[in-house]
Amino acid sequence: MRASRTIAIIGTFDTKGEELGFLRDAIVARGHRALLVDVAVRGDHGGADFDRHAVAARAGGGVDALVAAGDRGAALERMAAGASALVGELHAAGRIDGAIGIGGGSGSAVTSAPLRTLPFGFPKVLVSTKGAGDVSAFVGTRDIAVMFSVTDVMGLNPILRRVLRNAANAVCGMAEAAAEEGAPAAAGKVVAVTAFGVTTPAAERCRRRLLEAGFQVMVFHASGTGGRAMEELIAAGEIDAVLDLTTTELADELCGGALTAGPHRLEAAGRRGIPQVAVPGALDMVNFGPPETVPPALRDRRLHRHNAGTTLMRTTAAENAELGRIVAAKLAAATGPTELLLPLGGISDYGRPGAPFHDPAADAAFVTSVTAAYGGTIVTSPCHINDPPFADLAVDRLRRLIDAASGTP
């Protein structure tokens, strides 16, 4: 017989009390316990294990005053912060084994906030009226399972009952499986590798070589969210070394592209002092959506339609020179073993001779700039980034740093 688990249920009792009660009953019917967290900004309602006052208190209280002042947005932010703190407390104390939130637009924003504070692998589900659209604001970089409510979460109906029951079964099943799996078996060091479509051959070969050498490998798609997730995992101590093969997100940050990972990309490994090898993979491009999403001021630039939803813009020599200074500054601040590898034959599939972004002068501007600004170890190769010998070189250099850091001769 499965051990009973405890699931946190997060929602607004002023508008979703009936639905939250249904979720509680579905969880209890599976033999588990439920802890209900009320994140409503107004009205006192029975039935919650942590009422809105207890939640608000974790963020300094004062929600009633905010509501009275007509600042609903600030009140919602206060409840989101309080719920995040409360759920964090419950997790740290070992009092919950899973969490589920429900809501409409504003409700999903509030209930997803505490879900994003929970660690990777911890069971977390969000039922949302926005679940069939762009849920990036709710999910962030976390592994939240999102279910579309189909109907509005405004009174139970035959469809919503099925959705909520499935959601309850999902989070309970995750919690049950986590308990049965126990602690993961020890394995090799974890190496992060960054990849993009135009650097995939290199990433695939690096991954194979690292696996053959006994490492665990996490590949992150350099799509903005992927880079942020990797940086967070590095900061959390989940990654032991980094082969940052594809730093293209830095170009999006500099040029206003759609796939920026924020201003702190390429910094976490340096702060933690873990071995890292950095490569200017795909810094020859900036990402936008369909052609109409390219800012008017940039439409006379060299553009390439990668697919129906992605338009790429070639970086200029001036932009590459600035990227060289940015990369140099970030790597110079690293506290651990760090190397920069430069594939002089091209940094993406689109940078090969005859390809749409082939521009040796623009590439050379990065090399000149970063070489002048960075005083650490720089290794150059005549290869293109996707040539097998370059991937082998990248893996060999990283393994050398790892061995040196661990004292292996």
Mean pLDDT value of segment 85-104:
96
pLDDT classification of 186: cutoffs 50, 70, 90: low
pLDDT in the model for residue 257: 97
DSSP string, 122-154: S-EEEEETTTTS--HHHHTTS--EEEE-SS-SS
The yes-or-no verdict on residue 99 having pLDDT over 90 is yes
Q: Which residue has the tokens 């393994």?
A: 399
Q: Which residues pair with 287 in a beta bridge?
A: 312
- What gap in Å lies between CA 245 and CA 327, rounded to an integer? 13
- What gap in Å lies between CA 407 and CA 63, rounded to an integer? 55
The yes-or-no verdict on residue 182 having pLDDT over 70 is no
pLDDT digits (tens, 9 = 90+) for 132-178: 999 999 999 999 999 999 999 999 999 999 999 999 999 999 999 98
Q: Which residues pair with 276 in a beta bridge?
A: 242, 338
pLDDT in the model for residue 255: 97
pLDDT digits (tens, 9 = 90+) for 260-306: 999 999 999 999 999 999 999 999 999 999 999 999 999 999 999 99
CA atoms within 13 A on the CB side of 347: 30
More confident residue, 73 or 194: 194
Determine contact, residues 30/174, Cβ cutoff 8 Å: no
pLDDT in the model for residue 184: 56
Q: Please, what are the domains in the chain?
A: 6-181 (3.40.50.12020), 190-406 (3.40.50.12030)
What sign does the CA torsion over 294, 282, 193, 398 have? negative
Element (H, E) at 287: strand 285-288
- Percent with pLDDT over 90 in the chain: 88
By three-state DSSP, how is residue 284 classified? Answer: coil
In a 10 Å sphere around its CB, with 0-12 CB exposed, 13-18 middle and 19+ buried, how is residue 317 labelled?
Answer: middle
By three-state DSSP, how is residue 30 classified? Answer: coil
Q: Which two tokens stand for residue 142?
A: 């976390």
Query: In sequence order, which residues have a C-beta less than 8 Å from that of residue 101 and are 6 or more positions away?
Result: 9, 10, 11, 108, 111, 112, 114, 115, 125, 126, 127
Mean pLDDT value of segment 20-49:
92
By three-state DSSP, how is residue 277 classified? Answer: strand
pLDDT classification of 1: cutoffs 50, 70, 90: very low
pLDDT digits (tens, 9 = 90+) for 274-284: 999 999 999 99
pLDDT in the model for residue 185: 56
Q: Which of 327, 301, 197, 332 is nearest to 259 (CA)?
A: 197
- Percent with pLDDT over 70 in the chain: 98
Mean pLDDT value of segment 45-50:
86
Per-chain mean pLDDT for the chain: 94
Mean pLDDT value of segment 95-120:
95
